[in-house]
Structure 1
Amino acid sequence: MLFLLIGLHVVCATVVFLVGSRLGRWVWPIAATAPTAVVVWLLVNAGAMSDGGAVSQKSEWVPGLGLGLDLRVDAFSTLMLILVSGIGALIFAYAWHYFGNSPSSPRAAGLLTLFAASMVGIVIADNLLALYVFWELTSVTSYLLIGLDDTEAEARSAAQQAWLVTSLGGLAMLAGFVLLGQQAGTYTISEILTAPPSGTTTAVALMLILVGAFTKSAQYPFHSWLPTAMVAPTPISAYLHSAAMVKAGVYLVARLAPAFAVVGPWRPVVVTVGLVTMIAGGLRALRPFDLKQLLAFGTISQLGFLMVLFGIGQPAATAAGCALLLAHGLFKAALFMVVGIVDHKAGTRDIRELPDLGRGWGPTKAVALLSAASMAGVPLLAGFISKEQAYGALVDRSGFDRLVLVGIVIGSMLTVAYSLRFVAALVLPDLVSPELTDRPPARRTPTFWFASTGVLLATGSVVLGVAPRVWSGMVDAAAHALDPGAHAHLVLWHGLTTPLVLSVITLGVGAALFVLRRPVASAQARLTFPVSGLQGYDAVLRSTLGFAGRLTRIVQSGSLPIYAAVIFSAVVIAPMVAMVTGRWWPGWPMLIGTPAHLPIAVVLVVGAVAATLIGRRFAAAILLGVVGYAMGMLFVLQGAPDLALTQFAVETLSVVVFLLVLRVLPDRFELRSTTIRRPLRIVISAAVGVFVVLMAIASSGARTEPSVSGEMAEQALPRGGGRNIVNVILVDIRGMDTLGEISVLVTAGIGVVAIARVGRRRPADPVHPRRRRRTEDVGAP
């Protein structure tokens, strides 16, 4: 059934791509079928996960590599699937109003559905390598989603940046997965967490895995891709950056932390990166005038908060992380929807240009107020419950954990400040941007149905805040699935406790920061960083491309003899070193099979030597043909007439091609070879020839397993329907290989024809460097 859930997403996406152009906005109900089905499945199977159980399904994919499509859903996976599919279904409904009958609607719906399938795969994968496959699929689909408007250079640049950062992190993560799997002796995640390995190799593997998690969840210093990704349409931002993609790294850390938090540098690295991200992102969220940029940096800050709670690897913090994970998905998705409504109806999301959002904007403002209040941690809302749980997890501890608590409180104060800034921008924009003294009323107002999905999410924050028992059991089960010692007890009133006092102080100081926003802004303006996140990305990209260019100029000299010498030298040296330093072949096969082989071998050798010594190109081509025909005769003697015919045909065609080319070349070979170059060519050529012979002998005598050729001969007639073994191998047993080789030859032939027919090219138009809009909303540290 788990495979069907992923497959249903693919089917829905395929239908949307095929018939979406004729359906207009109605593609969104079709696309929403898949995430809705996941939610229904969760409701039906909730009992199996609530008591510590799990639903699993296994299928071998590549057993030799330990790669299996092992899927597993436990209580924590259920919590994540509620975000990915539950909130995802609401975002699909929101997109129905946002995109309308736009020409991009089918493409957006199909890609979002494929992205949802990838995220579901990440959440339920129980194999490290399978998880990596789904991980990279999210990178590919997010690249296409961020660059949905591929006519805009800014969208293409942002998509490229997101893909490069997350994919490079994914490569590091893959290396970590391989090391961890080898150390554990299995790639099954549940088995690794049950008996986690230790040691230096494990520590290295975990650091590599963390690089992948940090890049995906936009942690400092890999955060710059997320603000630039705000060029995507708002439904895409709401899904990718509140409920799905950016949570993937947090999910991975949450899975691994209970087992590996005590290993080496895990805890200090994760906590330090998370705190820096939380505080730096909060500071940066106080500056943008673009509402979407404000939410982007706020998201970065909240992701740092989640990374700290899960990464510290303590049961109480894990439970708090599970609570915040759900609360954040509710309020952040709703806030993104509000920004989309404002941008869609008011024509701008710049605070300095916002019109007066008066009559007709009540539901939208209510959603903004409730969701921002939940983000700030105001009592009676889900955000308050989760934040108080986080304070309570660290307040009674000492040493390092106390420092972590101080950092979280500072970050939460900044969260209050930018939450107030967001609400004020919609309700009283003059408080944030007094430059525009006369704000005309908005020309269009949103319908209630446009804001209805945001209303549902904001209502969820209220219900979970007022009645925490509603979700206490689900959070407790999720935390227990991660760490058997973790338990969540969510209540509205714990009494007059230290966490409550810290919550009040957080709200008070955060409000003061908003009241003192001008002095704070002046202080931030004076506090400059030598390199911003975007500038760092650009510098790394330019350096990489520059190094690649310099390296290409060195190794791509344009000389075919040098290329051939380098290739053949590598072919000889690398295996010979392995053969000399390792074990030699165990035995030698017979060099001569029958007396008839000897004269043909003599012809072959004489022809090859003569081809290297003769000075005329035409004669050398003919001698090469003689060598090929001699090889074909060896095939005849070995009982492979079809193979011999193929060899004869190839040699005949090769000689014809040689002769056609030789018409435009000098009659004789060049004699410009120096006293050093000619002997060097002879040495390399002789070494390649000797090496090929020795490798053939060594390979035939070093077999450790029975040859498959006997089985091929036995199965050629009953399964392949042919008496010619060679034909059966090429057409049936290795049919796909043959098709690939044919495709390569056809492609090469097309290339040769194109090169032969190309005329003199006109001077190319100058390529202008990429122009990227750099505003104060994007170029941030």
Structure 2
Amino acid sequence: MAAMGPALTFCALFLPFVGALAAPFAITRFGDRGAWLLALFPALAFMHFCGFLPEIAAGEVATGGYAWAPSFNLSFSWFLDGLSLTFSLLITGIGTLIVIYSGAYMNGHPQQGRFLSFILLFMGAMLGLVVSDSFLMLFIYWELTSVSSFLLIGFDHEREAARRAALQALIVTGGGGLCLLAGLVFLWNITGVTQLSLLVHLGDALRQSPFYLAALLLVLAGAFTKSAQFPFHFWLPNAMEAPAPVSAYLHSATMVKAGVYLLMRLNPVMGDTPAWEILLPFFGGLTLLTGTMLGLRQTDMKLILAYTTVASLGLLVMLTGFGSPHAIQAAVLYLLAHSLFKGALFMVAGAVDHETGMRDVTRLAGLRTAMPVTFLAALLAALSMGGLPLFFGFLAKEEIYLALWSGNPRAVFFTLLAVIGNALMFALAFAVALKPFIGRRAAATAGVHEGPLMLLLGPVLLAVLGLVAALAPGLSHRYISSPMASAITDEKTVIDITTMPHWGMPLLLSVLTVLLGLLVYWRIDAARAGMLRVLESLGPGPDRGFDILVAGLIRFSVLVTRLLQPGRLEIYVTATFIMLAVALLVPLFVFGEMPALPAWPRDMLIQEAAFLAIALIGIIAVLRAKDRLTAIVSLGIQGFAVAVIFLLFGAPDLSFTQFMVETLSVVILTLVMTRLRLDPSDHRPLGQMLPDAVIAIACGLGFTLLLLRSLEVPFDMRLTEFFNAYSKVIAHGANVVNVIIVDFRGTDTLGEISVVMITGLAVLALIRVRAGRRAP
């Protein structure tokens, strides 16, 4: 347990949510300078989590939390090890820079406070997700990230493209979240635990379970949708409709890595199986290739970066499931490098867009003199993304090739995929970092100047960190890389790679990657045109398929609605009573619960028999009535007869209630009928009457048999004894029935009163609306 108290960690987890509440007021009061104040919330959380670095580096873990519902084994608990701590530092550290960056990027926007509130809300959700120990807490935060990202992607809600992208992201990730919930339920039932810190020690039991594959597929569905794996990759590039700070934060450093985080977290318990080592590398490699190929056809800076993010996520998934000794180490290094260089490049793209009003790399040129600091940040980040020496991306790329390369065909195939993917990402990185800044300055950018400090701090700092982390690998590996890899493998792992390359095949593959990348960059216009032709020949992709699926779902919903909701009350009532009859009769027959026929009571009093006869006469009168008013009055006859029977059998309260209900029913129905036609027009042909009669008899028979079967069961006196014993002592009431209604069932009674009140208010509103329409 960490030296720092759980209370401090609890406060750190909720600091972003507090900042989200304060954001509108801070921006209203201080303008864009309020972003500096709001950045203190994630900065304080970042500092708190930094305090765990020595302890986690020593191989310990930090846990804490509070019992939520102990009887259901539910808790609000967190678990910090090398994996969750690294993600926490990325979320809060980059989040601090994003809040500052947003202060300048959104300066003057009328909804800047709302935007920062959404950013901080998402930050709190993502932070809660990666430190969650309990399954329930993990799922709640998982869904909260989907909801908050929906708000951010659709922030510019007046544009149709933004609304579509937000809805698409919510549907895809929300659907995956439901699959994840089912997968967590499977894990709970298989292992009997509801906490990740306990689950990591039950890998053998989980892998040997016959339900392992079902649990794995459900978990993969949640992870693949969140981390935009093929064929769910299409939502992430479309999410670039969001402002640049959202792209830099959600879709490069945090949210899209949630699926990767989940796979890394579950690697000790679900990994090391044929299914794991087939599905993850296959879909990860396919996503890597798809992302780079689709990115090659783009000219928008943000879209290029978005598709390379898809490719990078595929590479991470491929490495997580590859199964070689160095694969997890490579995944750790690449995840850290990607968070730094991709966050910086997205913020560079936002700064260029903010200053020039455009992001098309074919129209931008010569900005290096007008925006030298931005150009420096872009170049440093691209060098790391390209995997060139002295940068952390180089360490990651070297480790990737060391992990993948061996002589077997499987390794050769995935190594080839990695080389192609990394080469294309090299070309695309420099297309973003060089094309807008070199060459002759375009006339459209004549008045462009460097952005303010708030716009430059984030990309410069992240880009420089990519260099510093590689030049000081001892510190980086000791406090970040090695503890993270140890948490993923569930055994002590030491990463010791430095800027000195791996001599041999990894270095040769690195050189080959750079040469291929330079070739593609040199001929990038021709490569873009060729890729456009290839993609056009393939036809519409999953993005178009999503639209077709949604349109088909809407048409199907309309068809089902027209079938089940045709707008005729007669059909609704008939269907309801048919299902009621089925629910009553089928269990009695199927499970052999039919009651014995009761004997006719020989000691029945004459008055009891008389009122039963009156009730039957009332029913016959209803059936034989010539008009509606007579039928209503006749219906009241059998109701009053039943009320008298209740009275004769010693139930005055029930009898009084029956009298009131029957009286009000007759009065209300009569008043309603005064607004309708009362002439004899209710007679129907025999073909319509017989089905209704069968349904009515079936329902009546079902209730009768059910009541008779209930009477055969010995009467349980426990509730009676409880109410008799405690009504006077606890509720201080002598009338047991009143005490039950008012005290023991007080919430239920309050709900009933609320329903009646709301209904009355609705009726009053309708009367006033109608009266208003009649007014001259």
Instruction: Report if TM-score (shorter chain) is over 0.5.
Output: yes
Work out the CA distance in 2 between the residues paired with 1:206 and 1:710: 51
Deviations 1:390-423, CA, capped at 9 Å, x for gaps: 2212224734233222212211111111111111
Of 252-261 and 191-200, deviating more is 191-200
Compared CA separation, residues 187 and 663, structure 1 to 2 (3 A):
same
What amino acid is the match of 2:197? S
Counterpart in 2 of 1:415?
Answer: 425
Distance in 2 separating the partners of 1:617 and 1:691: 28
Aligned residues: 756
Q: 2:86 matched to 1:75?
A: no
For residues 418 and 704 of structure 1, the distance between their equivalents in structure 2, rounded to whole angstroms, comes to 78
Deviates more, 1:132-141 or 1:199-208: 199-208
CA distance in 1, matches of 2:648, 2:112: 65
Q: 2:539 aligns with which of 530, 541, 549?
A: 530
Looking at structure 1, the residues matched to 286 and 48 of structure 2 have their Cα atoms a distance apart, in angstroms, of 39
Q: Would you say the 8 A contact 2:320–2:328 is kept in 1?
A: yes
2:278 alignment partner AA = P
Q: Distance in 1 between matches of 2:27 and 2:620?
A: 65
Match of 1:539 in 2: 548
Offset at residue 65 of structure 1 (A):
5.6
- Tell me what 1:213 maps to: 223
Is the Cα contact below 8 Å between 1:242 and 1:333 reproduced in 2?
yes
DSSP 3-state at the match of 2:434: helix
After superposition, the Cα gap between the structure-2 partners of 1:741 and 1:99, relative to the gap in structure 1 and judged at 3 Å, is farther
Deviation at 1:462, TM superposition (A): 0.8
Distance 1:459 1:560, change over 3 A: same
Deviation at 1:539, TM superposition (A): 0.7
Alpha-carbon separation, structure 1, partners of 2:599 and 2:498: 83
Shift of 1:633: 6.7
> Partner of 1:100: helix, strand, or coil?
coil
Structure 1 residue 167 and structure 2 residue 174: aligned? yes
For 1:616, give the aligned amino acid.
Answer: D
Q: Measure the CA separation in 1 of the matches of 2:590 and 2:414.
A: 53
Of 683, 698, 701 in structure 2, the residue corresponding to residue 687 of structure 1 is 698
1:453-492 map, 5 Å: 453-473=458-478, 474-485=480-491, 486-492=493-499
1:328/1:739 Cα in 2 relative to 1: closer, same or farther (>3 Å)? farther
Distance in structure 2 (CA, Å) of the matches to 1:726 and 1:566: 35
Question: Partner amino acid for 1:482?
Answer: I
Give the structure 2 partner of residue 92 of structure 1: 99
Contact 1:309–1:317 (Cα < 8 Å) also in 2: yes
Residue 392 of structure 2 aligns with which residue?
382
TM-score scaled to structure 2, two decimals? 0.88
Aligned residue in 1 for 2:257: 247
The residue number in structure 2 matching 1:553 is 562
Q: TM-score, structure 1 length as denominator?
A: 0.87
**Greater CA drift, 309-318 or 128-137:** 309-318
Q: The residue matched to 2:197 in structure 1 has which SS?
A: helix
- For 1:178, the aligned partner's letter is V
525, 528, 533: which one pairs with 1:518?
525
SS in 1 for 2:255: coil
Alpha-carbon distance change, 415 to 563 in structure 1, aligned in 2, over 3 angstroms: same
Measured against aligned partners, the alpha-carbon deviations of 1:649-707 in whole angstroms (never above 9, x if no partner) come to 55554444322321233326755644443222122222223333444565687799996
Unpaired stretches in structure 2, ≥5 consecutive residues: 1-6, 771-776
Contact 2:285 2:315 in 1 (8 A): yes
- The 3-state SS of whatever aligns with 2:142 is helix
In structure 1, how many angstroms separate the alpha carbons of the residues matched to 2:646 and 2:312? 70
> How much identity, in percent, do the aligned residues show?
34
Pair 252,625 (structure 1): closer, same or farther in 2 beyond 3 Å: farther
- Equivalent of 2:339, from 321, 325, 329? 329
Query: Aligned-pair RMSD on alpha carbons?
Result: 3.6
Matched ranges for 1:748-767 at <5 A: none
Deviation at 1:248, TM superposition (A): 1.0
Q: 1:139 to 1:583 in 2, by over 3 A?
A: farther
Gaps in structure 1 of 5+ consecutive residues: 431-435, 760-781
Residue type of the alignment partner of 1:480: S
How far apart, in 2, do the equivalents of 1:338 and 1:704 lie?
A: 77
Contact kept, 8 Å, 2:395 with 2:499, in 1: the verdict is yes
Residue identity opposite 1:424 in structure 2: L
Separation in 2 of the partners of 1:437 and 1:756? 68
2:358 aligns with 348
1:451 to 450, 453, 456: 456
The one-letter code of the counterpart of 2:630 is: A
Kindly provide the CA deviation profile for residues 256-310 of structure 1, in whole angstroms up to 9, marking residues without a partner as x.
2332234463332222111111111111112222111111111111111111112
Q: Which moved more, 1:527-536 or 1:702-711?
A: 702-711
Question: What code does the residue aligned with 1:665 have?
Answer: L
Superposition pairs of residues 599-678 of structure 1, within 5 angstroms: 607=618, 611=622, 614-625=625-636, 651-667=662-678, 670-671=681-682, 673-678=684-689
What code does the residue aligned with 1:685 have? A
Q: Does the Cα contact within 8 Å between 2:324 and 2:404 map onto a contact in 1?
A: no
Deviates more, 1:655-664 or 1:402-411: 655-664
2:189 maps to amino acid:
Q
Shift in CA distance, 449/669, structure 1 to aligned 2, threshold 3 Å = same
CA distance in 2, matches of 1:261, 1:624: 69
User: What SS does the corresponding residue of 2:250 show, helix, strand or coil?
Assistant: helix
Write the distance in 1 (CA, Å) between the matches of 2:101 and 2:600: 75
Secondary structure, in 3 states, of the residue corresponding to 1:56?
Answer: strand
Corresponding residue for residue 225 of structure 1: 235
User: Which residue of 2 is the match for residue 371 of structure 1?
Assistant: 381
Seen in structure 2, the aligned counterparts of structure 1 residues 715 and 458 have a Cα distance that, compared at 3 Å, is farther
| 1:562 equivalent in alignment to 2:571 | yes
Structure 1 residues 395 and 366: alpha-carbon distance in aligned structure 2, compared to 1, 3 A threshold = same
Give secondary structure in 2 for the equivalent of 1:72: strand
> Do residues 320 (structure 1) and 330 (structure 2) align?
yes
Mapped partners of 2:604, 2:402: distance in 1: 87
**Superposed displacement of residue 91, structure 1:** 0.9
SS at match of 1:241: coil
Which sits farther off after the overlay, 452-461 or 65-74?
Answer: 65-74
* Counterpart residue number, 1:268: 278
- Please point out which of 41, 45, 65 is paired with 1:38: 45
CA displacement 1:362-408 (0-9 Å, x = unmatched): 11111111112211111111111112112212224734233222212
